[in-house]
Structure 1
């Protein structure tokens, strides 16, 4: 957007000219508890007065350990777990692959259509969409294979278990379970279009991984930390990942990411094999502990469900009178509208761009996404008010009414 922010609070962002914008993006799912959450501010202020860095690999400190302990408790499954901290989602995804390879002694990695996993060399290979993420940046890391996703809007009635069998058939024929270290999947896709797989798809894949000794990795960078009305999106499908990757909303805007997983897998890596200078920075760890407290003490998981009902209610009313909205989907405060040519399923990226541009001009931050660039995605902070949401969707109503068919 052609604005420069000077402050942000709750569900709004203020620019250098004094304009106040309603935030339906949360810095791409980062400021889940708000851009200046009181507990986060206080925790970071206290920590910065003590020290800003020592490097955990040199002289450990308690906030890192506390974050690891909290993640071990909060992630799905009652099994014994370990956590290691990094800086970004892509870095954590790469380390999850390293852990899976060390544990299995295998090399291949399977990802899915429409996937987004990051912008480093390995995660570019794992990401599906070329422009703008991969174009001109190859060659990419080898031993990465792609399987078909469950995409209910475009799957012609294929249910979850059937879609899982389709994916498994491709994997077994083109890769072979004996060669496969990890299957990496977003429980709800992010950049690929907020695609929610049909029920039974994730569970079918997880069961197959368990039988074949393949590490099931849930990339919850965008869908984690209460965003979807559960602490982690995997919980909606009753799936317990072997490894789970967290980032974005984990630390209220400070750079932090994590891999949490089964102890025997995490311990498979040799001493010194995982790490990094800034991973688990004490300021970010202090912020993460405050974010977790805010989510739990302010009932933000329930708030995400309330936000879902409000947003989907507004979008479904709009969809009923405008058939250019082909699909409304998502969970919690992670909701999308897929836009199509009227009366068809043909993607309409031009319309998505026009709607987003109109919203921006009227002071509403709206993001687009999707393999075809035709999806409007809504990621408001969970502390946004109902009044702000209704005001924002009044603007979207005006946008659709003003853009000719």
Structure 2
């Protein structure tokens, strides 16, 4: 594969070039088949080439490929906004802006929060990931490889420990850190928003502590702080529910969406309470390609296909197979590097621990290569890149998913 015309700053996980895909299977240019546990880093919860999405996209291409919505509106954007109001499980009417990417949704959410509150400061969390654009970068709770060498970033942004059963940090610890922040660094009435992932993606598939989420909601209400949930990776069915915040029993003021929203086409959104979304001057939000007509056609079908019953069935099936495989691997005693399972539902990670032979990150790096050789594509995560994230399409056939997990086991045997 010739990468001579590609920026060397792009990191490539797998040195191969894909040619086609079908649900949870992909084939490279040499026609070698792989089971895909990467799925566009969570952008393909409905798999490669879902028939209903393909049909809708083909119909849309034949009628209208694009119109810049803030110049001349088109029906697709309007339909997606209306569908989101019904699809996102919040108790208030939803107002939205469509964007091209999750990072762009993050940037616009920061603008909305600043405009609505008249404040600038932001609170984010250790190991969080919210995008690669300049302001989003500063929210990320990890320096390498995102922030080093870039100097001062837009802010101010303050970071807190992420409380989770998967991180070992309890709600009281995180709340104490937040109270210290308000006492030592910045008063609460100067904070515009708090941005948090209900389940961290890049951070290692860690579920936010529900008790902390409830306390955070009360604190934001008390101090007029906008609570933003980043569901770019955890949303659109990834955990077996429409959005991961349903596991927490707490509603956000703004929600960031993307990745699987349009089944692989570039579409994302920031949505929330209308009073917030209307805070900027007219013309303050928008974008040339935001809410592209073809991507909107795909998104509308995604929401139609992702019924509660289907998501529950897909999520429970995938969770059951992953949990059973992990238990089998650990019970065998053959894999001392295997640590606990993180996440919730079908959004699961496997921690790789340090051993005498190698670090957890070295074990996982070796697994990525070994698994590729036996026909499975995998993706790392975590601050130390020592957490395997499992992102097979929710629609993966049970036999394909079992085969993929068995191949991972074969690859583990070579480490």
TM bucket normalised to smaller: over 0.9
Match of 1:195 among 193, 198, 206: 206
Equivalent pair of 1:55/1:278 in contact (CA under 8 Å): yes
Could you tell me which residue of structure 2 aligns to residue 394 of structure 1? 406
Counterparts of 1:65-144 in structure 2, within 5 Å, are: 65-144=78-157
Match of 2:241 among 209, 225, 230: 230
Q: 1:144 to 1:118 in 2, by over 3 A?
A: same
Match of 1:369 among 374, 381, 384: 381
Equivalent pair of 2:241/2:311 in contact (CA under 8 Å): no
* Residue 168 of structure 1 pairs with residue 178 of structure 2: yes
SS at match of 1:152: coil
> 1:369, CA displacement in angstroms?
0.8
Structure 1 residue ranges, 4+ long, deviating more than 3 angstroms after superposition:
none
> 1:136, CA displacement in angstroms?
2.2
Q: Which moved more, 1:384-393 or 1:164-173?
A: 164-173
Could you tell me which residue of structure 1 aligns to residue 7 of structure 2? none
| Cα distance in 2, alignment partners of residues 7 and 164 from structure 1 | 45
| Cα distance in 1, alignment partners of residues 225 and 288 from structure 2 | 30
* Residue 254 of structure 1 pairs with residue 240 of structure 2: no
| Cα distance in 1, alignment partners of residues 245 and 196 from structure 2 | 10
Q: Which moved more, 1:271-280 or 1:206-215?
A: 206-215
Match of 1:32 among 32, 41, 45: 45
Equivalent pair of 2:46/2:394 in contact (CA under 8 Å): yes
| Cα distance in 1, alignment partners of residues 91 and 141 from structure 2 | 33
* Residue 208 of structure 1 pairs with residue 238 of structure 2: no
Counterparts of 1:320-399 in structure 2, within 5 Å, are: 320=331, 321=333, 322-342=335-355, 348-399=360-411
> 1:298, CA displacement in angstroms?
7.6
* Residues 314-350 of structure 1: CA deviation (Å, up to 9, x unaligned): 112212323422210112221100111249xx96110
> 1:379, CA displacement in angstroms?
0.5
Could you tell me which residue of structure 2 aligns to residue 2 of structure 1? 15
Could you tell me which residue of structure 2 aligns to residue 274 of structure 1? 285
> 1:135, CA displacement in angstroms?
2.2
* Residue 240 of structure 1 pairs with residue 251 of structure 2: yes
Aligned-pair RMSD on alpha carbons?
1.8
SS at match of 2:21: strand
| Cα distance in 2, alignment partners of residues 117 and 79 from structure 1 | 25
TM-score by length of 2: 0.92
SS at match of 1:402: coil
Could you tell me which residue of structure 2 aligns to residue 314 of structure 1? 325
Could you tell me which residue of structure 1 aligns to residue 165 of structure 2? 152
Equivalent pair of 2:370/2:414 in contact (CA under 8 Å): no
> 1:301, CA displacement in angstroms?
3.8
Q: 1:300 to 1:152 in 2, by over 3 A?
A: closer
Equivalent pair of 1:145/1:175 in contact (CA under 8 Å): no
SS at match of 1:145: strand
Q: 1:204 to 1:298 in 2, by over 3 A?
A: closer
Q: 1:383 to 1:117 in 2, by over 3 A?
A: same
Could you tell me which residue of structure 1 aligns to residue 34 of structure 2? 21
Equivalent pair of 1:147/1:170 in contact (CA under 8 Å): no
Please, which runs of 5 or more residues in structure 2 have no aligned partner?
1-13
* Residues 137-189 of structure 1: CA deviation (Å, up to 9, x unaligned): 3331121111111143442xx543x2442242233232221100000001100
| Cα distance in 1, alignment partners of residues 252 and 167 from structure 2 | 26
SS at match of 2:159: strand
Tell me how many residue pairs correspond in the alignment: 399
> 1:63, CA displacement in angstroms?
1.0
Could you tell me which residue of structure 1 aligns to residue 5 of structure 2? none
| Cα distance in 2, alignment partners of residues 308 and 302 from structure 1 | 10
